[in-house]
Structure 1
């Protein structure tokens, strides 16, 4: 399974972001491979509709 978690920073020990749509980063974790990566949320600073754009 692949899980996306909203993160404040690009570190595994980063605090979770309280807003999924406005999170600066997402930690993508593959539970089968035990691998993680981070992607930037380009919609984090959007004036409106960030959740849909994310």
Structure 2
């Protein structure tokens, strides 16, 4: 069984909408390269901002 990683060792990105940092989550394991927004709220705001 692999050792646990510290939160500081996990990869992070900034949200494309709000600019806040977001840390890797287990549920994003397979799609981490595609993750752009930190929440559904930011995704909806970005979608509504486009003409």
TM-score by length of 1: 0.19
TM-score by length of 2: 0.19
The structure richer in helix per residue is 2
Q: Who wins on radius of gyration, i.e. which is larger?
A: 2
The structure richer in strand per residue is 1
